[in-house]
Structure 1
């Protein structure tokens, strides 16, 4: 843990003890964490919405401009090289699940601010026109002595015939989801006791500009030890990187990701959250568009197991490159 992350932990722990509300961001590599008291947050630099709570000023509405959104898919041959590299590690038994992601060039006539305003998502963040997040995936919720997490793994086009049944009966998606639930349960045991799966593999619908997607999630909970509000930062950082966007086992999977993805994720697949003085809610920063040089990249990916096929995973990556509104 570097000095910036240690400082982040100290700040979160201190404000938790004081009951002082704050917002926090932690990037995937844990190199650029940020903690800001809510009463010091400037909506001209950071806008957020978490489970319906937002700092968006009143009477702010998106424009009615027709949306232009285009993407330039990564070359399939390039993706296959990375996929095959990851698959070799999986077949050796070094990991049972690896989350492989890639940056995809996109073009839109909307600003990142406008995308934030229009997006329909449980977890949203706009960061100073540098990046925007519209994530369907909560990370952890801490309230009344309990910690909850909601790993999301498994995606299918909702317009396919019998899509829900096909997704739930897909052996590859089941194995991927099961590995993610096992990993997140293991992670929660680092900070909590009585860890249990409250609900396994329920289906949710995500609306996008291109149509609807089905995704499967689970709900895992645990009981925190007394005095947990003074250890909010310690508890959250102990769970990073989020298991659902890394792999299992985590340490080996993170190293495989570093070797084969070929780029730095930055804030993508990191987390951000809000503490209101009593309750902490957070989300995984997936569904992520970032400004780079003179253009935009949409970072996306999915879980790879030994049962994965390269064409299917490539198609899933591209299916996720979509804006969450119509």
Structure 2
């Protein structure tokens, strides 16, 4: 059987348009030619390089959330900060599941949500991500590390920009993505640093900051699968150093991320567009819905503020 990397290398070399989904731990990546995409998979990109199954009119949506107790989350943050204090890592993205109570189905949530990237895997999960991952057009490759979230309020942007912990976190993620791109591309540079984007939700507005890292990528199509293998999991949802962070988080999080914080995207035969699977709701075997979210933890993190940020990210963006 051809591995997913080999299949993407082949499709890239032959210019075959395809969709791919790489789960966080790479246990079950999948690759489909666009012409034979399973009906249970639907996606839409806000500024389309390619777009299938465009969404219909948005539906009303109400929900409640039940998070893990703060005491449980606090113990995980403290354990993670002890790992940082011992020099085992410097930044780690701690995530947890929150029970998401709503009468809406995954499909209805997909229809109601507005986001640059949307993905529905019927019966399994829905994702409405604000975070592009890797884009390649011609020989120019770009990635878009996102770190820094705050509720919109007077002075919120200034508060986020002036927070030393947030700055350190963003710098570390940008450096990680620069290193990841440098392993397969040339002339890596930071084109934009800590730019703001505003997300509107039914519970208010959220500011997020992201940067743009670019590079020159000759002959990338025949290496498409190998490149995505090197770049995943995404640095913005793991930490530094990436491999050690993943090991630590697997022990501390005590649940399976699954496709959450994985990467999905489309190769249209000439160009690549992909995104990180955050803002993600998953259906459990019992039919309960869980919203998976988190944030970056450093030695200076305030556990209560990090807990609040994790819950702030439990939302559905509106039109």
Q: Tell me by how many angstroms 1:161 deviates.
A: 1.7
Q: Say which of 211, 214, 237 aligns to 1:245.
A: 237
Indicate yes or no: 2:14 matched with 1:18: yes
For 1:1-326, list aligned pairs within 5 A.
7-42=3-38, 44-53=39-48, 54-56=51-53, 60-63=56-59, 66-158=60-152, 160-225=153-218, 227-292=219-284, 293-325=286-318
Q: Which runs of 5+ in 1 are unaligned?
A: none
What do residues 111-139 of structure 1 show as CA deviations (whole Å, max 9, x unaligned)? 11111111111111000221000010000
Q: Is the 8 A contact 1:50 1:274 kept in 2?
A: no
- TM-score computed with the length of structure 2 as normaliser: 0.96
Q: What's the Cα RMSD here?
A: 1.3
State the alpha-carbon separation in 2 of the partners of residues 213 and 75 from structure 1.
24
Q: Tell me by how many angstroms 1:261 deviates.
A: 0.5
Q: Tell me by how many angstroms 1:62 deviates.
A: 3.7
Aligned residues: 316
Q: Is the 8 A contact 1:50 1:273 kept in 2?
A: no
Q: Which runs of 4+ in 1 moved over 6 A?
A: none
What do residues 51-103 of structure 1 show as CA deviations (whole Å, max 9, x unaligned)? 43321158x4344xx42200011111111111111110111222111000000
What do residues 119-177 of structure 1 show as CA deviations (whole Å, max 9, x unaligned)? 1111110002210000100000011112110000001111x221111111111110100
- TM-score computed with the length of structure 1 as normaliser: 0.94
Q: Which runs of 5+ in 2 are unaligned?
A: none
Q: Is the 8 A contact 2:260 2:280 kept in 1?
A: yes
Q: Is the 8 A contact 1:188 1:195 kept in 2?
A: yes
State the alpha-carbon separation in 1 of the partners of residues 37 and 229 from structure 2.
22
